[in-house]
Amino acid sequence: MNSIYSVGITGMGSYVPEKIVSNDDLSKIMDTSDEWINTRTGIRERRIADKDIATSDLCTEAALKAIKDANIDSKDIDLILIATVTSDMAFPSTACIVQKNIGADNAAAFDISVGCSGFLYGLAIGSNFIATGAYKTVLVIGSEVLSKILDWEDRSTCVLFGDGAGACVLQRCEDGKGILSYDLGADGANGHFLTQPAGGSRMPASHETVEKRLHYVHMDGGEVFKFAVRAMEKASLKALEKANIGLEDIDYLIPHQANIRIIKSSAKRLKVPKEKVYVNLDKYGNMSSASIPIALDEAYHKGLIKKDDTVLLVAFGAGLTWASVVLKWVK
């Protein structure tokens, strides 16, 4: 990064709904089983938000924890970035709703839509505002309530996802630490492999779109799998090259928690031993943009990630997109 200031994560927080839905629970409402889901995905259970809970509610809880962890006041925040594909509504942005909820009166606010890569895109965007001297404190949140856009009659998709939110505070840090590099990319030509077809200006809501179940997640799992393994390796190597460090310098790899086979394949291709790979997929499923910040928060609060550790974060998502971040932990 060409910058005036180094930027690091100075606070972390996460929140997941209380309701746990296990694979056995799903087997009671569809043709599936714990063995079928777990052997194919590595998922055993996921958190599902109540019907009256929206993305901004999860964001607010995670944000307050991150603000406390960073030992700042909400009014210190200059910018709120929320990565989500399940915003409360088309407009206003979920970031503006969260701004109100946490009393961040001095903050600008906007959402970004990059699917599962969203939190890492948010880190890149937010860090540049601070690195250039424009802002001092940025709140980045990845949050989804994917359960609201899943077709619960389609076992190929609904068993994969869960709800949650993870947040971090970005601020200036000691030179040479914090976010060392990032790599962002997109392959829009293959975006049709992972979509929510209806609900936008291309296909507004109508009786027909509802009847055809076009407001739910549609995914070609095989194509997304192949893309994911290639993209995660490519993005990881690019970010490491930009940071001028090698794979052997990585203390922890936190990949997007989508599928255990993707995680294992990526770790194998990158030659990262399993004890250096953080996985919580079994407890939460794929939470899209919330997966990495929740995993990072857990690893940090468990004491697995320590000050000056080098951490590689990498994800792929709808778009199709990919992103990676290399950082030296400052807390």
DSSP string covering 285-325, please? -B-GGGHHHHHHHHHHHTT-S-TT-EEEEEEEETTTEEEEE
Q: Catalytic residue at 218? A: no
Question: Is-contact 302 64, C-beta < 8 A?
Answer: no
- Considering the four listed CATH numbers 3.40.50.12280, 2.60.40.2550, 3.90.1200.10, 3.40.47.10, the one that applies to the domain covering 180-328 is 3.40.47.10
Write down the catalytic residue from 59, 116, 168, 173. Answer: 116
Fold (CATH) for 6-177 = Peroxisomal Thiolase; Chain A, domain 1 (3.40.47)
The answer to whether residue 295 scores a pLDDT higher than 90 is yes
pLDDT tens for each residue of 60-106: 999 999 999 999 999 999 999 999 999 999 999 999 999 999 999 99
Domain boundaries, given as residue ranges, for the chain: 6-177, 180-328
Q: Catalytic residue at 286? A: yes
The answer to whether residue 2 scores a pLDDT higher than 60 is no
Question: Is-contact 51 155, C-beta < 8 A?
Answer: no
Q: Catalytic residue at 256? A: yes
Percent pLDDT > 70 in the chain is: 99
pTM score, whole prediction: 0.96
How high is the mean pLDDT of the chain? 96
The answer to whether residue 164 scores a pLDDT higher than 80 is yes
Q: How many CA atoms lie within 13 A of 272 on its CB side?
A: 26
Q: How many helices (H) and strands (E) does the chain have?
A: 11, 13
Same fold, 6-177 and 180-328: yes
Q: Alpha-carbon distance 107 to 134, whole Å?
A: 12
